[in-house]
């Protein structure tokens, strides 16, 4: 299974762009990179996902390197409400399309006023 490595914690000033890195060097060609976040005491919230190309939605941008071994989640203008644990996840397909998510321990992002 492809595993992900993330820094345990990061700080970012309010209003600045938060750049969260993720290493997934063993990713396979048909595996997607997903990002979720979890605000204290709540369920994980979907942010964005991608396969090869960079992606952008109303919440964030996802930059995937050409070799797909790493990616960066960008929150363009961080607010205090973005303080959360961010999980980078590789979706693994096993057994005729059955799949599981492998969650690591994530990055605790703290937005500083």
Partner 1 sequence: NAGVTQTPKFQVLKTGQSMTLQCAQDMNHEYMSWYRQDPGMGLRLIHYSVGAGITDQGEVPNGYNVSRSTTEDFPLRLLSAAPSQTSVYFCASSLSRTPGNTIYFGEGSWLTVV
Q: Which residues bind partner 1 (CB under 8 A)?
A: 30-32, 34, 36, 41-46, 49, 51, 87, 91, 93, 95, 97-101, 103-106
- Taking the C-alpha atoms of residue 31 and residue 29, their distance in angstroms, rounded to an integer, is 6
Q: Minimal distance in Å, beta carbon 19 to partner 1?
A: 21
Pick between residue 14 and residue 103 the one whose CB is nearest to partner 1.
103
Pick between residue 4 and residue 83 the one whose CB is nearest to partner 1.
4
Q: Minimal distance in Å, beta carbon 61 to partner 1?
A: 17
């Amino acid at each position: 299974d492809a595993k992900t490595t993330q820094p345990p914690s990061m700080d970012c000033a309010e209003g600045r762009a938060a750049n969260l890195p993720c290493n997934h060097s063993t990713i396979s060609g048909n595996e997607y990179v997903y990002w979720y976040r979890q605000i204290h005491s709540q369920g994980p919230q979907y942010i964005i996902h991608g396969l090869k190309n960079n992606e952008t939605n109303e919440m964030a941008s996802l930059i995937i390197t050409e070799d797909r071994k790493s990616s960066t989640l960008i929150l363009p203008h961080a607010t205090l409400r973005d303080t959360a644990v961010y999980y980078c996840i590789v979706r693994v397909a096993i057994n005729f399309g059955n799949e599981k998510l492998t969650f690591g321990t994530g990055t605790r992002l703290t937005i500083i006023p």
